[in-house]
Amino acid sequence: ARLRQIQTYHMDTRGWCDIAYHYLLSRDGQLWEGRSARLLGSHTGGANTGNLGVSVMGAHMTTPITAGQQDALAGLIRGLATQHDVAITRSVIKGHRQHTSTDCPGDALYGQLDAIVAKAAAGGGGGGGGGGPTTVTVRGTLWLGADTTARVAGATVTLGGRTTTSAADGTWAFTAVPA
C-alpha cells in the first residue's frame, strides 16, 4: 500500500511517468522494483544519467536502518555493481545529498553508507547473493493502469526463459528463482 502511495504521488502530483526510483527498500528489508532500470530515473534532479536510484523508505535523520535493511541494501549494491561493472566504492556509491542540496538520505542513514558499501564490497549481505538465500519466489499482480481493482487474468508473464499465466485474481508467481 505504501508503494502505491509513493507511485501515485510521483505520477499524479509530480507528473512523472512512474516512481522516480529504480529500487525501493521497505522497513522489513524487502526490496521492490520501482521504475525499470532500463529507464532514466527522476530520483535526483539534474543527476539522473548514469546511475540507478535506490530509496530506503522512511525517515532516517535520526533513525538508522535495521541490520536486515543493511544486508538487503549491501546485496543490491553488490548485485547491481556486478551486473553493470561498477566499482563498489564510496566515490561511486553515493547518497542523494552528494548529487544535490538535500538532507536525503538522512543523517543516520548517510552515516551508515560507508559500512554498507564496505559490506557490499566484501561480499556480505543478502539480496544479491553471498549470505542471502540461493533461491527466491518472485510474485506480483497485474492490473489495468492505476485501477488496482481491474485485475488481468490469463496474461502470460515471462521471467528469464520461464513463463506463467496470471490467475483469475491477476496474481502470478515464479518459485525457485536464483537470488
Q: pLDDT by residue for the chain (179 residues), tens digit each?
A: 888 888 888 889 988 888 888 898 988 888 888 888 877 777 777 776 778 888 898 888 898 989 989 999 999 999 888 888 889 998 888 877 777 777 788 888 888 999 999 999 998 776 543 344 566 778 888 888 877 788 999 999 998 889 999 999 988 888 888 76
C-alpha cell at 85: 561493472
Q: What is the pTM of this model?
A: 0.67
Instruction: Give 152-177 pLDDT, tens digit per residue.
Output: 999 999 988 899 999 999 888 888 88
Instruction: Give 70-80 pLDDT, tens digit per residue.
Output: 999 999 999 88
Owner of C-alpha cell 548517510: 110
C-alpha cell at 142: 497485474
Residues in CB range of 56: below 8 A, 6 or more apart: 24, 25, 65, 69, 73, 105, 109
Query: Which candidate, 123, 143, 141, 122, places its Cα nearest to that of 132?
Result: 123
Check: CB of residue 136 under 8 Å from CB of residue 174.
no
Bridge partners for 54 per DSSP: 23
Q: What is the pLDDT of residue 94?
A: 82
Owner of C-alpha cell 544519467: 49
C-alpha cell at 7: 507511485
